[in-house]
Each structure stands twice: as structure tokens, then as C-alpha cells.
Structure 1
């Protein structure tokens, strides 16, 4: 199948949608499909041209960077539909990836449907109440569904909000993010250290990720057993420098190393500990899934997309608010048997969201959109 993945954002930009579109493209290419990614994100250090499209290869997927010069390399290009119209018409299916604000993806959705191309659309974000109401009034999502697009989102929670925004009984499937367990889980279960419990998290240091609340909760968990706990928060973003400055005096128990490579993150997780996911409006939570696959018990909000793969008491603990997250974290620190039981389960039972399973769901969405094998 010849597949076009359409996304505003793509690496080198950092984030969940960027990583997942790249990994989906690689996985589809590895399964024998011809995959082309169209994005408005420029390559690092690359120049722009109003009508030039930079093409490169990314582990089997062909990446087309359809960019224009904008401040801060914003992934927007109103010229894109005109520039790629003829070549997009030659694909078997278009798979659009939507974020909170995705003008590039929305423009190419209109183009794909205008061309009569089977079109699947996946939301990687949480539509807030105002966005749901706005989409109902605009009727854009409902219009796409009525024109034959197959709608999906990365979790049950996110899918429910897209259904509410469509407001016309459109079926919204769940197409989760995928993971390669071999990159995260060791070959054998190794008991974690008994004399220390590492509290960990990995996220983009941005306002919507609730960084100050996360550090506060980690501090409360640490205060309950300061001799045995230490916290590490991995990641980069606009709030990292400020967070380091504000919490400079906490360096005795809090580490903020910045962004690290996947292999280094996996090694850190394999030492054991607890993973805390603080976000309320998390569409999926790929970082939490990585931690769970590496064995860490995950503490997360029961109302977020993380609840799709964390079962309370089985591979983590779920809570409804910040106080509940702190209580769950303290419980895992104090109860070594519970912590090790969850860790052993996570290391021996693979998550359902393997790339093999996710590719089957993706192909099913393409077929639902009208594409043939």
C-alpha cells in the first residue's frame, strides 16, 4: 500500500506526535508498505524555499519537508496543498495526524478528501471543552466524517471528546501510540535496590505538562521517606531553565538532567523505582508507557489517556487528583512487596500497544476509510 502520513510536526521537533508519526512511518515501511511523510517542520539547520520541497529518507520512510520561512520555524505552510496536489493524488490512503492546532494537517485533510483519497484522521491531543463546542459550531469534524474520513484518537478519553466534537454520531476508533518492547524491557527480571527508591518522570518542560505540580508532588513523596528516596525528571523544554533555577536548593534529592537518549532513559528505568505521570489532559502518555514497559510501576490520573494501559493495582496505581497521586507514590515507596510485584508483572507481560498490534489497527483504519490492500 502507498501511504501518505500528513503531519504539521516531525523530528527534529520534540514531542509525542513527532515521535509517533516517525515511528509509525518506520514501522509501516518495515512491514513492506511504501510510506511518505509530508510535514511543515524543517530539518535542523535547513534553509527554506517557497516552492522547494526537501526530501530525505528516514529508515525506510520518505520525508517531504514542505516549508516556508516563518519565525521560530513554525510548522505552517498555506502553499502546501497547491505544491503537493498532483503527487498526493497518487497515494492509496492519506493518514492525517492532528494536534491541538494543526493548520497544515487540516489543509491537507481538505485536499485529500477533495481528491477522493481514502483518508484516516487521528487526534493525538485532548480537545478541551471550548474546542469541542467550537468544532460543533464549525461542523468541520462532522463534515470530514460525512465525506468518508475514518476518525480515530490515541485513547478512549481522547476519542470520546472527538465524538462529542463531531456531534453527528460519527464512529471514532481508538488507534493507540505504539512501542517496541525490545527497546525498553530487559531479557531477565533483576530485583530493584532495596535501600533506595528512585522517583522518576519524563516529559516536555512546558506549561500544559504541569511541571511545578510534578516537582511539588515529588517533594511530598520524598519528604515521607527522605533517607530512601531521590527524584529524577528527564526532559527538555522552555521551562527547564526556570525549573532548575527555582529548585537549585533541592539538588540533594532532585535531579534535572535534561533530555537524554532513549537507550540512556531505558537504562535509568531498569534500575527500578516509580514513575509519576502528573498530567490531567494527557491524550495517551507514551513516556508513561515506556516506563511501564521497562518495569516501573506508573502512578497516573485515572481520567487521562494513561488509564488505557495502566490497570490500578496491576501495573501501577491510578488516582483522581494530586493528593491521590502523592498518596499512591508514598504507598509504593513504603510497600516493597507491592512495588516489586508490579515491577515483575510489567517486565514479564508486554503491553498491548506493540507495533505489531498498532499496525493491524492502522491498516484497519485505512480499510475503513476505503483503501484496499
Structure 2
């Protein structure tokens, strides 16, 4: 099967959609498929204007134009992409949608206009943009034209279904993870008197709520017994970093809070293996790949119950799910205070692989392609 992956954003940009589409392409190739990527993201050396660049063996059509801040937008791309899709002998197109995806939206229209079987996956929650999506009506029209519609989690799929209506089924096509890469080889060795290590990882942007990580951790620490120490490490970088540093200084948290910045995957994984709890207070989390990585690395996860994290964390089994920040404080206190509960959850997470391992996810993607073809 020859697959065209259509996405606003792709490597070298770093983010959830970028990494997931890259990894999906690699997984599809490993299953014997041929894959090409069409993106409005320029290459590492500024490749754009339709240049085809090889990235890890995958042809990437760089349909970017020169715009301020390298915005992944190109309203001039559809005619040339239409020509390339028609000439390329593709069997299916897979469109990857974010919160606002003008390039992917244009290319979904192009693929369906060519009569190409088309799958569309949303990587976002539509909560804030639902009125706009409903007014524009393109998701509903795509479903009516036979596109196989999906989203990365149950809550994300429900939001898309509410926009699309009953005429088309919106299924769940989750993000995937290399479970063997993240799974620890052995239980961590713990000094009984050492502080409990809490870790978080995210882009330091307001939408991810990094300040809430500090607020929840600080409130939890105030409730802990005097003989129970806790440390927090928050990985990541972004526009909120200065605000976080000011909060740490103002609340005199510097002796137990560390902000190391962004680190590579290997260092992040090793940090997870040495830690005890993962904390993620994001509310607008369609999936939560960082939380899945932490869960696969053996960490109990404390998260909001109304997010995509609930697809791979069951309350009391892989972690604790909370209705609001106050409940997150209580959940964090419980995990830091109760060694037995924390170890029970950690043992489960170390020994039971998540359902979102790549072999299962890529099989679901193939199923979506067959569904698009049948339509």
C-alpha cells in the first residue's frame, strides 16, 4: 500500500504531531508499505517550495513557503500537491489535524476531490474551537464523502463526533509508543530515607499549564508529614520558563525543585527510571504522549480525569485521576506518603505493556485505511 501522510507540521519541528507522524511513517514502512509525507514545515536547511527531502528514508515533500516565524501554512500548495498525488500512485491519504491546521484542511479537500481513500485523524481537543469547526462544516462534509474519521483518544473522538453528527462514525486511533524502548530493565533501587522523586515533562507553554505543576507540588508538600521529603524535576522549555523561575524563587522552592530545560529522549527516559511519580495537570490534553512514556517507564501517573490520559491510565491501576487541581494535590500526597500503593502501581506499569504499543496502533491505522477504501 502506498500512503501519503498529509500534515502541517513535521520534523525538524518538535511536538506531538511531528514525532507521531514520523514514527507512524517508520512503522508503516517496517510493515512493508511505501510512505511519503507532504508538509508545510521547512527542512532543517530551509528546504521548501516543493523540494523532496529524505528523512530517515522517508520522502518528505517540503511544501513550505517563506513566512514569519516559519508558520506551517501554504495556501498556494493545493494545485501542486494535487498533481503529485495524482501522479504518485497513492492508495490512501492520511490527514493529521491539529487545533488549527489550514494546510492539512486544504489537502484533505484535495485528496477527497481526487477520489483518493482518505483517513483523517485529530490530534487535538476541539473544546475551544468546536463552534468554528461546526460552522465551517468541513469535518462533516469529509465524513459524508467517505473519509474515515478518527481522533487520538476517547475524549477527542467524542468532541469530533459532536461536530460531525450521527452521519459518520469517529473512531479512536491512538498515538503509539515503542514500549520496549521505554520499559525499565529492572526495578529502581531506593534508599528508604531518600526523597520521593516527582517528575514532569512538557513544553513550557500556558496551554500545558506548567505553572500548575509547581502549584500542585507546592501545595502537596505543605500537606506531607515532616518526615516525608519530596523533590520535583520539571523538564522542558518554552515561553513560560521565566514565570516558573520567578514562582520558584518567590516561594523559596529552589532547594527541592529543578528546571533542567529540554533534554533528549535518552536522558528523559533514564530520569523516569530513577523517579517515583509523574505529574501532569494539563486540561486540554487530547492524548498525553509524555504521560504514556512515563507510564511505560514504570511511573504512577497523576493526571486530570477529563483528558486523553484516561485512555491509558485507569484510576488506581496505572495512576490516580483527579477531577481538579485540588484533587490532584490530594492524589500526589497519597502517592508520596504511601510507599505500598506507589510500589504496587509502579510494579503494574513496569510489567504490563500499554495497549498503545506500536504494533497494535499501526494495525489500527491499516484498519482505518481499509475503512476509507471501503467507503
Shorter-chain TM-score range: over 0.9
Distance in 2, Cα, partners of 1:303 & 1:162: 15
Matches within 5 A, 1:10-29: 10-29=10-29
Distance in 1, Cα, partners of 2:315 & 2:12: 35
RMSD over equivalenced CA pairs, Å:
1.6
Matches within 5 A, 1:209-358: 209-225=208-224, 228-248=229-249, 249-358=252-361
For the Cα contact (< 8 Å) 1:35–1:60, is it kept in 2? no
Match of 2:148 among 135, 147, 150: 150
- Equivalent residue pairs, number: 368
Relative to the length of structure 1, the TM-score reads 0.95
Secondary structure at the aligned position of 2:149 is classed as: strand
Distance in 2, Cα, partners of 1:239 & 1:272: 24
Distance in 1, Cα, partners of 2:229 & 2:147: 53
Secondary structure at the aligned position of 1:369 is classed as: helix
Q: CA deviation at 1:283?
A: 0.3
Secondary structure at the aligned position of 1:35 is classed as: strand
Deviations 1:287-313 (A, max 9, x none): 000000000000111111100000111
Distance in 2, Cα, partners of 1:205 & 1:319: 22
Distance in 1, Cα, partners of 2:14 & 2:222: 32
Relative to the length of structure 2, the TM-score reads 0.94
Secondary structure at the aligned position of 2:75 is classed as: coil
Distance in 2, Cα, partners of 1:290 & 1:218: 21
For the Cα contact (< 8 Å) 1:280–1:304, is it kept in 2? yes
Instruction: Report what 1:42 is aligned to.
Output: 42
Secondary structure at the aligned position of 2:373 is classed as: coil
5+ residue gaps, structure 2, are none
Q: CA deviation at 1:212?
A: 1.6
5+ residue gaps, structure 1, are none
Secondary structure at the aligned position of 1:41 is classed as: coil
Distance in 2, Cα, partners of 1:319 & 1:369: 37
Instruction: Report what 2:134 is aligned to.
Output: 136
Q: CA deviation at 1:57?
A: 2.2
Secondary structure at the aligned position of 2:126 is classed as: coil
Deviations 1:157-199 (A, max 9, x none): 0000000011243100000000001111122333444322111
Match of 1:75 among 62, 65, 72: 72
CA 300–79 in structure 1, closer or farther in 2 if over 3 Å, else same: same
Secondary structure at the aligned position of 1:42 is classed as: coil
Instruction: Report what 1:126 is aligned to.
Output: 125
Q: CA deviation at 1:345?
A: 0.7
Distance in 2, Cα, partners of 1:356 & 1:40: 28
Distance in 2, Cα, partners of 1:363 & 1:164: 25
Q: Does 1:167 align with 2:146?
A: no
Q: CA deviation at 1:84?
A: 1.8
Instruction: Report what 1:66 is aligned to.
Output: 63
